[in-house]
Structure 1
Amino acid sequence: MAKVQFYLTIKDGLEDLLGYIDDDLTEEMKTRMITCLNAAESFVQGSVGPDDGNFYQKNGVKNLYTVACNSYAATLFTYASTISVRRVNNVDDVCRSIIGQLRGKYDAKDDEVNNDGTEHQSDISNGVN
């Protein structure tokens, strides 16, 4: 399994999305936000594909990645759940939609033509090039 790279901080939109300002945040809340954001980045990267060192930071990808991660992190933060017999919260529609867009961009990246004219494709299911 590929190692997850964490790119975002809670200052990249999560605080604003949740409606918090610095004066309102306790250390406990900041820690919980960071944990939710890390979980969201792991989820999004796991759903799209392993990072090749710069995919999630490319123009046209970074904004989608940030919105998807913040959306899912906000869901995790707002609807924190424990093990129970109640209904489990599903991934929100915004995150799911953006993951679909990111998968398309990821697939397009893997179908690019190499400099020598040969087609480069990778097996996304296991992350092997």
Structure 2
Amino acid sequence: MTTILKVDDEFKRVLGYLPDDDMLDDQLIQRMTSALDAAEIYVQGAVGENKADFYQSEKILPLYKLACYAIGANWFNHPSSAVSSTTAKAIIGQLRGSYDESEVSDDGTTTESRSTNGVN
């Protein structure tokens, strides 16, 4: 799996920090990074792991970021008791639908069925 998001000013604000907050030390930034990386791995595992470029597409990236930020913020703020939010689960459902659509070719076959039929 490929992580594509970074702890930036936007993610810091999601967590309630200003970009230049004095409380932001190396340890806190590392916790943020770990939470965001874990959230990306979770979302990609729930949606599909085969196409990293899918998550970077203009249409998908905003939903992907929203799901990862929601999960990452929850895990950052509640590390021992966090569960995925209803919002994140709904977004993951949308991403799954888009991911599945991206697997279907013009002739209606999926990537898997083409490779099993010997056509690539």
Query: Which of the five TM-score ranges fits, normalised by the shorter chain?
Result: 0.7 to 0.9
Q: Alpha-carbon deviation of 1:36?
A: 0.3
Q: Deviations over 1:67-111 (max 9, x none)?
A: 100110000000011xxxxxx432111111100000010011011
Aligned to 1:103: 96
Does residue 1:20 correspond to 2:17, yes or no? yes
Aligned to 1:89: 82
Task: Give distance in 2, aligned partners of 1:51 and 1:26.
Answer: 35
Q: Alpha-carbon deviation of 1:28?
A: 0.8
Q: Which secondary structure does the structure 1 equivalent of 2:111 belong to?
A: coil
**Identity within the alignment, %:** 35
* CA separation of 1:90 and 1:70: change in aligned 2, threshold 3 A: same
Task: Give distance in 2, aligned partners of 1:53 and 1:9.
Answer: 15
- 5 Å-filtered alignment, 1:1-129, equals 4-11=1-8, 13-21=10-18, 22-23=20-21, 24-81=23-80, 88-113=81-106, 118-123=107-112
Misfit runs of 4+, over 6 Å: none
Q: Alpha-carbon deviation of 1:12?
A: 6.1
Task: Give distance in 1, aligned partners of 2:54 and 2:26.
Answer: 32
* CA separation of 1:92 and 1:53: change in aligned 2, threshold 3 A: closer
Q: Deviations over 1:2-52 (max 9, x none)?
A: xx1010011162211011122231111100000000000000000000142
Q: TM-score, normalised by structure 2?
A: 0.84
Over aligned residue pairs, what C-alpha RMSD do you find? 1.7
- Count of matched residue positions in the alignment of Structure 1 and Structure 2: 111
Which sections of structure 1, spanning at least 5 residues, go unmatched?
A: 82-87, 124-128
The structure carrying a bigger helix percent of its residues is: 2
